[in-house]
Homo-oligomer: A and B are copies of this chain.
Amino acid sequence: MLTDETRYKLLKRLEENPHINQRELANELGISLGKTNYCLKALIDKGWVKVGNFRQNPHKLQYAYLLTPKGLEEKARVTLRFLKRKQQEHEQLLEELKELREEVAALKPLEEGEV
């Protein structure tokens, strides 16, 4: 599953550092290698990311995952979308917290240690 969240994180991380391998990506994003591979391919298929190789540069060999111009546009869009979603989540969370606090206040006080 390629969600907005992983899409966003991938594009962001790749823009920061195109010289990164899938295992590191997986670690940093907190997802498995398999999923990383799957999602990354999806980005490539869509044309947001292009793999370039740098053999010309003697040492510092390695490939790189570069954002295409379309990839940059997409990243902007996803970021905004993601921000909005997080703002909604935030409001919802505030309400939940309010309810929870009221409920806790209604309880016979408990020692903190008992939790």
Q: Is the interface of A mostly helix, strand, loop or mixed?
A: helix
A contacts with B, residue count (CB < 8 A): 26
Asked whether B100 lies within 8 Å of A86 as measured between CB atoms, the reply is yes
Asked whether B115 lies within 8 Å of A100 as measured between CB atoms, the reply is no
Asked whether B76 lies within 8 Å of A100 as measured between CB atoms, the reply is no
Contact of A93 among B79, B89, B104 (CB under 8 A): B89
Chain B residue numbers with a CB within 8 Å of A33 are none
Pairs A-B, 6 closest by C-beta atoms: A83-B100, A80-B115, A76-B107, A81-B115, A90-B93, A86-B97
Give 12 A-B contacts (CB < 8 Å), ordered by A residue.
A76-B107, A77-B110, A77-B114, A79-B104, A80-B107, A80-B110, A81-B115, A82-B100, A83-B97, A84-B115, A86-B96, A90-B90
